[in-house]
Structure 1
Amino acid sequence: MQMQRPFQLVPALAALAMSLLALPAHSEELSDDEFCATLGRWAEIIMRSHQAGVPMVEMMETVSSSDLLRGMVVKAYGRHRYSDPEIRQRSIDDFRDEAVHACYTELLVPN
């Protein structure tokens, strides 16, 4: 898979972001599974953007209406960027899985 250049990636992400912006509040309209899956998709979008070199300020603007997603951007951009495609994809997958794990832990594991 050929990596898109950051300026090509932003419009595609913005379009996807707009379709997912209903996420931030865990509403009664979403089941726990749907909410955590959507959060995982956001985590993947954010980390893929970081790995592709999209500036953090652009991602913060994209998710400006959600403190949850803004926090996720801060976490993602605190991680290393990789040039090796396999390591880059692994970092994207790991970040997504960590977000989904944290979501289910918060929703399903008693305090």
Structure 2
Amino acid sequence: MPDHDLPVDPNTILPMRVETFAEFAVESALWLVRESMDAIANETEFDPDPENCFRVLGRLPAIRELRDLTEEQRHDMFVEGFRHIPNGAHEAFELLLAEHKPLLWEGFRQRWNVVANEVSLA
């Protein structure tokens, strides 16, 4: 994660850095994708368990699935992922999304580049 904060309006008070919001959003999107893939493979109902949110095993298939999406679709998944985790920062996230969307999208891009480049996907 970069050492610098993305610029934010000084009048906006966030409980954590934009990069942290982005990290949680990307990781939780990986979890949702993985849970969805498991539900399809097991022919079960999609019912993501928040207890497994940050215990995603087998990230590579989820990364590949997200990589196949457009950036806009991927960002939608990041938002949905964040909305599904029990973290107490939903109100701040929604405010950031509503008032500083380009800033959040840039945070998503930066974090996604780190995740997508973790492993060789060739």
More helix by proportion, 1 or 2? 1
Greater Cα radius of gyration, structure 1 or 2: 2
Q: Normalised by the size of structure 2, how large is the TM-score?
A: 0.30
Q: Normalised by the size of structure 1, how large is the TM-score?
A: 0.32
